[in-house]
Amino acid sequence: MLNDVEAYIALRRAAGFEMKNVEWLLKNFARFEAMREQTHVNAQTAIDWAALGPSAAQRDARLKAVCRFARYIRIEDNRHEAPPANHFGARKKRRPPHIYSPDEISLLIIGALQLRPRNGLRSQTYATLIALLATTGLRISEALNLKVADIRKDGLLVRETKFKKTRLVPLHDTAAAGLERYLKQRRPISMDDPVFICDRGQPLQYSAVRDTFDRLVNKAGVRLTPGMHRPRLHDLRHTFAVRALQTCPVGRSRTGKHMVALATYMGHVNIYATYWYLEATADLMRDVAAVGEMFLSDGAQS
């Protein structure tokens, strides 16, 4: 069965999926089946193997990985059994985001400009990076992987990021001007240089950016909403999406087009990832409820 697993992994990778964790899981499952002297996917064996996961979420993920593999391999050999995907009944929960206010974002940028050495490249790098994330909704990985050549007249060329997609992200004039100012101070040597670098001239590492951002959050005095998790760097992306939806035009057809445009802009693989932002924020839910009440009231009057 190990050969079948490798063929499945190769096919999925050719379609653009990384499959790092899935590869480890399925090869581990294949060895587990081999220990039981089984040559085909067995539903009970899959459940027994998945049950070895330390948490409900991990047990569910392990079983679902086998289910997807089983659906693929059963096309050629129906002796393979399809395990029940919802056997463990776990549901994936997405962490509610912190939506930064404009004042909080301003304080984060001001704090970045005060990083030592004062007026050095480090302070400018972090201030520009935070401003770019807030105004474009880029994933942090996308921003850190930007090359100087990716800054075009018509926007940022974001290359083969999540789901192996490449897209052009338009920039507001102020964002483009801010990047231009930073590059003049940054003085890149070649077009292949990373846009954001540390003081040693090396590309910024995510761990360093995360730790610095956490300190800036503390310094800015960003207050936690009761019952919410600590504000994260990735929440700048959530904030951008929520603000974009709050300016959504009125009207069902116009709203639908706005959602599709936002999904494309943010590099979502499907519209459902964008719809999640509607339910992620209390402000948006209140806006949706208010529009719904107006629609129903107008309908009742007519």
Catalytic residues: 139, 162, 234, 237, 268, 277
Contact 216, 112 (CB under 8 A): yes
Pinpoint the alpha helices (H) of 15-91: 20-35, 43-50, 56-73
Pairs from 84-91 (Cβ < 8 Å, separation ≥ 24): 84/43, 84/47, 87/47, 87/50, 87/63, 88/50, 88/56, 88/59, 88/60, 88/63, 89/56, 89/60, 90/56, 90/57, 90/59, 90/60
Coil vs helix vs strand at 205: coil
Residue 161: both structure tokens together: 């990021």
**Residue 157 β-bridge partners:** 168
Residue 133: both structure tokens together: 């994330």
Contact 213, 130 (CB under 8 A): yes
Contact 74, 82 (CB under 8 A): yes
Rounded distance between C-alpha atoms, residue 236 and residue 279, angstroms: 17
